[in-house]
């Protein structure tokens, strides 16, 4: 029997399948480690040597930050492919988690070399874990199970509960014990995630146990050989860079990487259309998903100022004193996750209420609205930075307001988009398409890092104009997505592809869209 039919009836985790519990807590701890470490990253790089930092300039530090966060998500593309073709989601998640934990352990060692090696390990591990654990959430549901959106909303709450724990724990440790204790705490978080994953893995009941479209033994062997070769190449480049044989200019690299990621995204998407043996329905559904991907990229390019320019704005330009208490810089970023966890139930109720009134905004519409709301947050930053440019530190409410607006935008777009990917992708490509989608995070993050380079708190006079440009750009793209969503709305609503049931048994088979198919 198909595993998804067994878990279909299961409602043991807040009305959702029990497997969601496994994925919820694993991702919660993984995100605790990711955001906990990330919150410290720019602060650590830009802090002086005396303060225990690396004394890197803001432009380089934000570019490295953008490359790191971009790299984390870029690796989701090969990570998704490895799960679909070689490992299956469950093993990809497990090994990914182990590599992430090792990365944080290396980061805890105070040296410049270990800092960069640790980051590379986290990048590789997250690539393996993130898209696959996210795709497995969707695989807990059969295609007509309407709990999918709710399941993703709950899962997204888990992500943010993990982030809150991360921000508070590492922020506290950094201020009271030093940066490397913060990085070490991230390793402990990931270890807890791995332990609970192993203990509760049976709840997944076979979901993601095997690759969705396995390769022949020979082809798999060749693929692994290529993967090992690439990893060896990466090790050599890292060694040469650390020993100073090759000099890497992070700002220049980040600019090129943004272009390379974008080209890869378009080529990969196009190749799925050309060589993915899609039926007509699948093509239309992926066309609708493409629009969501564009909105997602633009969204994160703005939103991801959180860890970079907003972080520095909080540190240098915000009056963080309440009486005698100084609010730690990292706490501001946690506002996003706190608002998210608090607002999630309202949004879940809003979508249910709207659908009861037969108003069911499509994935495209919701994404457009999310993008536009996020962009309006930059009007607030425009005024806040104008106030800061006068030389006085500004009140903390400005950032609180921005984070609130950004979180409302995020709730309209992000969990909705994950559900869209899982719903609109052909099952045999679930991991890969989640990898392609995660690439929109990568593009967004690298662009965000580049933008942040122009937002140096040393030079607040330059800020208002750039924040205004981000606002205008975000709203314009949001408006275009909104209009296009009128067209893609119908494509999203097409029934699960005519050939879906057969496709699962014969991955890659071309099925005529008009051919009747009997469901098992």
Residue 141 C-beta: closest distance to ligand GLN, Å: 19
Which of 192, 237 has the CB closer to ligand GLN? 192
Which of 70, 426 has the CB closer to ligand GLN? 70
Residue 127 C-beta: closest distance to ligand GLN, Å: 13
Which of 304, 498 has the CB closer to ligand GLN? 304
Cβ atoms of residues 463 and 95 within 8 Å: no
Alpha helices in 390-462 (DSSP H): 397-424, 430-453
Number of residues binding to ligand GLN, judged by CB under 6 A: 6
Residue 370 C-beta: closest distance to ligand GLN, Å: 12
- C-alpha angle 178/184/188, rounded to 5°? 145
Q: How far apart, in Å, do the first and last CA atoms of the chain sit?
A: 10
Residue 135 C-beta: closest distance to ligand GLN, Å: 13
Query: Which of positions 480-519 make contact with ligand GLN (CB under 6 A)?
Result: none
Residue 304 C-beta: closest distance to ligand GLN, Å: 6
Beta bridge partners of 322: 325
Enumerate residues 6+ apart whose C-beta is below 8 A from 313. Answer: 381, 384, 385, 388, 399, 455, 457
Q: How much of the chain is in helix, strand and coil states, percent to nearest 5?
A: 75, 0, 20
Residue 369 C-beta: closest distance to ligand GLN, Å: 17
Site string for ligand GLN, 373-412 (x = CB under 6 A): ----------------------------------------
Which of 76, 118 has the CB closer to ligand GLN? 76
Residue 204 C-beta: closest distance to ligand GLN, Å: 20
Which of 41, 159 has the CB closer to ligand GLN? 159
Which of 383, 404 has the CB closer to ligand GLN? 404
Report the phi/psi class of residue 52: left, alpha or beta, with left for phi > 0 and alpha for psi in -120 to 50.
left
Query: Which of positions 161-220 make contact with ligand GLN (CB under 6 A)?
Result: none
Q: What is the DSSP string of 157-211?
A: HHHHHHHHHHHHHHHHHHHHT-HHHHHHHHHHHHHHHHHHHHHHGGGGTTTTSS-
Which of 156, 382 has the CB closer to ligand GLN? 156
| Residue among 92, 123, 159, 372 that touches ligand GLN (CB under 6 A) | 159
Residue 57 C-beta: closest distance to ligand GLN, Å: 24
Which of 303, 467 has the CB closer to ligand GLN? 303
Among all residues, whose Cβ is closest to ligand GLN?
441
CA distance 305 to 244: 30
Residue 480 C-beta: closest distance to ligand GLN, Å: 21
CA distance 15 to 435: 28
- C-alpha angle 449/450/453, rounded to 5°? 90
Query: Which of positions 412-451 make contact with ligand GLN (CB under 6 A)?
Result: 414, 441
- Per DSSP, which regions of 69-147 are E strands? none
Alpha helices in 319-362 (DSSP H): 330-356
Inter-axis angle of helices 148-176 and 330-356, nearest 10 = 170
Which of 84, 304 has the CB closer to ligand GLN? 304
Which of 38, 180 has the CB closer to ligand GLN? 38
| Residue among 300, 332, 378, 491 that touches ligand GLN (CB under 6 A) | 300
Phi and psi torsions of 455, nearest 5°: -115, 55
What would the two tokens of residue 206 be?
């076979």
Residue 365 C-beta: closest distance to ligand GLN, Å: 20
Residue 410 C-beta: closest distance to ligand GLN, Å: 7
Site string for ligand GLN, 114-143 (x = CB under 6 A): ------------------------------
Which of 165, 278 has the CB closer to ligand GLN? 165
Phi and psi torsions of 13, nearest 5°: -120, 95
Cβ atoms of residues 31 and 163 within 8 Å: yes
Query: Which of positions 19-48 make contact with ligand GLN (CB under 6 A)?
Result: 31
Residue 361: other Cβ atoms inside 10 A: 17
Tell me which residues touch ligand GLN (CB under 6 A): 31, 159, 300, 304, 414, 441
């Amino acid at each position: 029997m198909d595993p998804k039919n067994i878990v279909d009836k299961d409602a043991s985790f807040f009305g959702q399948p029990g497997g969601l519990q496994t994925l919820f807590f694993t991702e919660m701890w993984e995100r605790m480690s990711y955001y906990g470490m990330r919150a410290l990253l720019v602060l650590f790089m830009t802090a002086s040597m005396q303060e225990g930092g690396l004394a890197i300039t803001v432009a380089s530090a934000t570019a490295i930050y953008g490359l790191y966060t971009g790299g984390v998500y870029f690796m989701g593309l090969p990570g998704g492919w490895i799960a679909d073709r070689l490992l299956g989601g469950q093993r990809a998640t497990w090994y990914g988690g182990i590599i992430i934990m090792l990365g944080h352990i290396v980061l805890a060692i105070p040296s410049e070399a270990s800092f960069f090696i640790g980051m590379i390990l986290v990048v590789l591990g997250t690539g393996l874990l993130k898209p696959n654990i996210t795709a497995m959430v969707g695989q807990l549901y059969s295609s007509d199970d309407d709990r999918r959106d709710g399941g993703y909303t709950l899962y997204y709450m888990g992500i943010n509960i993990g982030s809150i724990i991360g921000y508070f724990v590492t922020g506290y440790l950094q201020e009271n014990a030093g940066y490397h204790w913060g990085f070490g705490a991230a390793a402990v978080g990931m270890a807890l995630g791995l332990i609970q994953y192993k203990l509760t893995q049976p709840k997944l009941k076979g979901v993601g146990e095997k690759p969705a479209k396995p390769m022949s033994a020979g082809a798999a062997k060749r693929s692994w050989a290529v993967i090992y070769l690439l990893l060896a190449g990466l090790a050599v480049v890292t060694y040469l860079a650390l020993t100073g044989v090759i000099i890497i200019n992070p700002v220049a690299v980040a600019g090129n990487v943004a272009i390379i990621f974008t080209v890869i995204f378009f080529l990969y998407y196009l190749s799925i259309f050309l060589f993915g043996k899609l039926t007509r329905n699948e093509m239309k559904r992926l066309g609708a998903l493409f629009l969501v991907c564009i909105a997602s990229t633009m969204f994160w390019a703005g939103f991801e100022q959180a860890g970079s320019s907003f972080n520095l704005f909080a540190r240098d330009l915000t009056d963080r004193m309440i009486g005698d208490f100084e609010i730690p810089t990292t706490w501001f970023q946690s506002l996003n996750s706190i608002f998210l966890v608090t607002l999630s139930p309202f949004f879940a109720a809003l979508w249910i209420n709207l659908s009861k009134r037969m108003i069911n905004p499509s994935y495209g519409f919701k994404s457009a609205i999310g993008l536009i709301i996020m962009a309006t947050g930059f009007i607030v930053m425009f005024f806040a930075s104008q106030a800061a440019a006068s030389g006085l530190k500004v009140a903390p409410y400005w950032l609180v307001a921005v984070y609130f607006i950004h979180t409302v935008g995020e709730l309209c777009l992000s969990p909705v988009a994950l559900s869209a990917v899982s719903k609109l992708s052909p099952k045999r490509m679930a991991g890969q398409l989640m990898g392609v989608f995660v690439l929109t995070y990568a593009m967004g993050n690298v662009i965000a890092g580049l933008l942040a380079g122009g937002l140096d708190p040393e030079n607040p006079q330059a800020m208002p104009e750039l924040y205004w440009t981000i606002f205008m750009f975000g709203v314009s793209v949001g408006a275009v997505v909104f209009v296009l969503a009128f067209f893609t709305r119908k494509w999203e609503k097409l029934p699960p592809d005519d050939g879906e049931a057969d496709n699962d048994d014969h991955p890659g088979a071309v099925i005529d869209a008009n051919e009747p198919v009997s469901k098992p």
